[in-house]
A = this chain, B = another copy of it.
Amino acid sequence: MTHIDFAYGRDATVQTNAKSDAAGEIHPCSACTVRTLTVCAALEAEELRRLAEILQTTRFDAGHTVFGEGEPAETLYNVTSGTVKVYKLLPDGRRQITGFLLPGDFFGLSVNDSYAYTAETVTPVSLCRFPRRRMEALLDEFPKMQRRLFSMASNELAAAQDQMLLLGRKTAKEKICSFLLLLSQRASRRGHKTNPVHVPMSRADIADYLGLTTETVSRTFTQLKTSRVISLLEGNKVQIQDMDDLLELAEGA
């Protein structure tokens, strides 16, 4: 399908941090892992040390394909900074984006031995790599970690069901409002400012995420702007005028 530069193109740099796990010295990538795995799974020092050993950090420019659908799934990723989109394609090129991944999110987990979707960077991104084999061994050893991963998968499943409701039954306006709310909520969960929401992805990406066209996305944004529900600010920021209003619009009330 798409060409994948799996062995690190020139826009990618790799660094292992097996050596930087001395007490007190935490690599940014370890930091993300601490955030996502530790806090909820209450890992022990030993587990953390072992985890840090298998981590690697990678950087990509915007628009880089991290891996393609059907490729052998050898790595699990965690987003350290930036935004990643994952999508599936139909033979004639129609595209459905199934998720946008923000710092702290995992992707690349696969049941079979190959990825079920393509992952591409939306902005410049840094990723934390977990080699699959080693990760599996670690999971067997530390059930708490597995439990945490399971709970994340369950959360994703619930989100997927919300998205199916959106795709199958909501109108264009409801879709856009739901999308803005989602971004706002995710920002809040990561401890960021929730109101002027940062929307780093293009109209085309939003369209492919919501099952619309770019034209409809654009029209709906201006329509929401005209009716004073939102206003568009500099730097891909969207100001929500009335959160409750938006919440009702998102469900068609």
| Copies of this protein in the complex | 2
The number of residues on chain A lying at the interface, defined by a beta carbon within 8 Å of a beta carbon of chain B, is: 43
Residue of B nearest to A150 (CB): B150
**Interface residue ranges of A196-253 to B (CB < 8 Å):** 208, 210-211, 251-253
**Interface residue ranges of A136-170 to B (CB < 8 Å):** 139-140, 143, 146-147, 149-151, 153-158, 160-165, 167-170
> 10 tightest CB-CB pairs across the interface, nearest first?
A168-B211, A160-B160, A167-B167, A96-B165, A143-B143, A153-B153, A111-B154, A150-B150, A94-B169, A96-B168
Residue of B nearest to A88 (CB): B165
Question: What residues on B are CB-neighbors of A253 within 8 Å?
Answer: 91-92
Cα separation A139 to B169 with both chains bound (whole Å): 36
Residue of B nearest to A158 (CB): B116
Question: What residues on B are CB-neighbors of A153 within 8 Å?
Answer: 150, 153-154, 157
Question: What residues on B are CB-neighbors of A111 within 8 Å?
Answer: 151, 154-155, 158
Contact pattern, A 84-97, Cβ under 8 Å of B = 1, otherwise 0: 00001011101110
Partner of A164, one of B91, B146, B160: B160
Tell me whether A179 is interfacial, beta carbon within 8 Å: no
Q: Establish whether residues A90 and B143, one from each chain, have CB atoms under 8 Å apart when the complex forms.
A: no
Nearest chain B CB to A208's CB is how many angstroms away? 8
A residues near B (Cβ < 8 Å) are 88, 90-92, 94-96, 98, 109-111, 116-117, 139-140, 143, 146-147, 149-151, 153-158, 160-165, 167-170, 208, 210-211, 251-253
Partner of A162, one of B88, B156, B168: B88
Known: A146-B147, A169-B90. A164 touches B96 (CB 8 A): yes
Question: What residues on B are CB-neighbors of A109 within 8 Å?
Answer: 154
Q: Other than A88-B162, A153-B157, give 16 A-B pairs with Cβ distance below 8 A.
A: A88-B161, A88-B164, A91-B251, A92-B252, A98-B161, A98-B164, A111-B151, A143-B143, A143-B146, A157-B160, A160-B160, A160-B164, A164-B167, A167-B168, A168-B208, A168-B210
Known: A90-B170, A143-B143, A150-B146. A163 touches B165 (CB 8 A): no
